[in-house]
Amino acid sequence: MRRACAKMWPVTEGVVVGVDIGGTKVLAGVVDEMGRVARTALRTTPGRRVVTSRVEDALVEAIVEAADDQPIAGVGVAAAGFVDSAGERVMFAPHLPWQGEPLKHLLEERLGCPIGLDNDANCAARAEARYGAARGATTALMVTMGTGIGGAVLLEGRVIRGANGMAGEFGHMQVVPDGQSCECGRRGCWEQYSSGNALVRHARALMVEQPSVLDDMADGKPDLITGPMVTTAAEQGDLVAHRAFASVGHWLGVGVANLVAAFDPEVVVVGGGVSAAGDRLLEPARDALSRTLVGAEHRRVPGLVAAALGPRAGMIGAALLVAGDQPLR
Ligand SMILES: [Zn+2]
C-alpha cells in the first residue's frame, strides 16, 4: 500500500512531526532520522462527546507548537483506535469521537503537508523495529499491555494492517472456553487473564487466601486496588502481588505461544504500562512460552523482551509513516 510519501529523511527544509493521540492526551514531537525527539508539545484530549473538529484543533495546536515556527515537511498521526486499511480514517475509537471522518484529508488541508495515519500500536511497533527492542528484526510481534491487550504484526519488514485495518487486536483471542466474561460481550478473552485489569483481578482473588500489604494500601477495600498499587506491593516483596504478576505473566506466555505458532517471529516485544514490571512479568511468560510453544525443541524460541522506547514509541513510529522508507528493512 502506498503511504503519503517515502524517504522524506533527510528533510532539506522543515521538520517531521509525530503525534500520538490517546484517550487522555495528545503528544506531538519533532522526530529526526535517528528516532531522536527534539521538541515536544502536549495537549489534553478534548474527550469523546465533543465535535470532532475540537479534537482536530488539539492535534493541530500540538503539532504547530512542537514545530516551533519551522516549516512542517510532514506529520504522522498515531491514533488509539481502529484506522481503516487505507490509513485515511479513524473508524472507531473508545475514547475519541471520530467515526469514519476523513482525518488524513482534513489535516492535509489544515496543515498543507503530507499526513500519515495509523493505529498507535502499529506505530509503536514501527518505532521498536527501527530504533528499539526489535531493531534489526524483519518479523516481529508487538504486544501492548495496558488496561487490555493490543498489538501489531511486523512480517518481513512490513506492519500488516489487514483487510479492515484491524490486524493485531490480540486481546480478544479466546484462551479459555467459557471463561471470564469480557467487555466485548464474549467470554475467555486473553486480556481477561493478562492485562492491567487482569493483574488487579488476580491480586483481589489471591488476597482472600493470604495477607497482603495491598489491604492497607486500599484501606481494606479490594475494589480500590489499582495496577500501580500491585506493582508497588511487588517491589516491597509482597507475596500476593508476586503471585498476581506470576499469573499474568503465565497467561502472557500462553497467549504469545499461540501468536508465535501463527507468525514465527524473531522477537516478541511487550510494551504498554504493565511491561514496566520487566522480568517480574517476563520471566514467568518466557517459562510458559517455552513450555507451550509447538515444536519448541526443534526451533529457536523467540526472545520475549520489554519495549525500549516507552511512551514515546507511538509518536516516533508515527513520524516513520511519512518520513521513513517502507519497508523497514
Ligand atoms: Zn473480549
pLDDT, tens digit (0-9, with 9 covering 90-100), for 149-179: 999 999 988 999 999 988 999 999 999 999 9
Task: Report the pLDDT averaged over residues 179-208.
Answer: 94
CA-wise closest residue to 227 among 246, 244, 209: 244
| pLDDT band for position 2 (cuts 50, 70, 90) | very low
pLDDT digits (tens, 9 = 90+) for 105-125: 999 999 999 999 999 999 999
Beta strands in 102-238 (DSSP E): 115-119, 140-145, 149-155, 158-159
Distance (Å) from CA 198 to ligand 1 centroid: 12
| pLDDT band for position 146 (cuts 50, 70, 90) | confident
Check pLDDT > 60 for residue 3.
no
Distance (Å) from CA 100 to ligand 1 centroid: 23
Distance (Å) from CA 189 to ligand 1 centroid: 5
Q: State the CB neighbour count (10 A cutoff) for residue 24.
A: 10
Per-residue pLDDT at 253: 97
Higher pLDDT, 165 or 242: 242
Maximum CA pair distance of the chain?
64
Per-residue pLDDT at 325: 61
DSSP states of 90-102: EEE-TTS--SS--
Per-residue pLDDT at 42: 96
Task: Report the pLDDT averaged over residues 72-76.
Answer: 96
Residue 64 grid coordinates: 504547530
Distance (Å) from CA 150 to ligand 1 centroid: 11
Distance (Å) from CA 172 to ligand 1 centroid: 4
Distance (Å) from CA 256 to ligand 1 centroid: 17
Task: Report the pLDDT averaged over residues 244-256.
Answer: 97
Residue 228 grid coordinates: 500501580
Distance (Å) from CA 75 to ligand 1 centroid: 33
Task: Report the pLDDT averaged over residues 51-62.
Answer: 96
Distance (Å) from CA 173 to ligand 1 centroid: 7
Task: Write the CB contacts of 152 (distance below 8 Å, at least 6 apart in sequence).
Answer: 119, 121, 122, 124, 125, 141, 142, 159, 167, 168
Check pLDDT > 90 for residue 327.
no
Residue 204 grid coordinates: 483481589
Per-residue pLDDT at 4: 45
Residue 265 grid coordinates: 517471529
| Cross-strand partners of 57 | none
- Average pLDDT across the chain, whole number: 92
Distance (Å) from CA 216 to ligand 1 centroid: 32
Q: Tell me the one-letter amino acid at 95.
A: H
Check pLDDT > 60 for residue 289.
yes
Check pLDDT > 90 for residue 213.
yes
Distance (Å) from CA 304 to ligand 1 centroid: 24
Per-residue pLDDT at 91: 94
CA atoms within 13 A on the CB side of 40: 13
**Phi, psi values for residue 155, rounded to 5°:** -115, 120
Per-residue pLDDT at 11: 78
| pLDDT band for position 183 (cuts 50, 70, 90) | confident
Distance (Å) from CA 214 to ligand 1 centroid: 28
Distance (Å) from CA 178 to ligand 1 centroid: 12
Distance (Å) from CA 149 to ligand 1 centroid: 10
Which H or E run includes 198?
Answer: helix 196-207
**Phi, psi values for residue 282, rounded to 5°:** -80, -30
Per-residue pLDDT at 7: 61
Distance (Å) from CA 107 to ligand 1 centroid: 33
Contact 132, 144 (CB under 8 A): no
pLDDT digits (tens, 9 = 90+) for 5-48: 556 777 778 899 999 999 889 999 999 999 999 999 999 999 88
Distance (Å) from CA 135 to ligand 1 centroid: 31
Check pLDDT > 90 for residue 329.
no
Check pLDDT > 90 for residue 137.
yes
Distance (Å) from CA 179 to ligand 1 centroid: 11
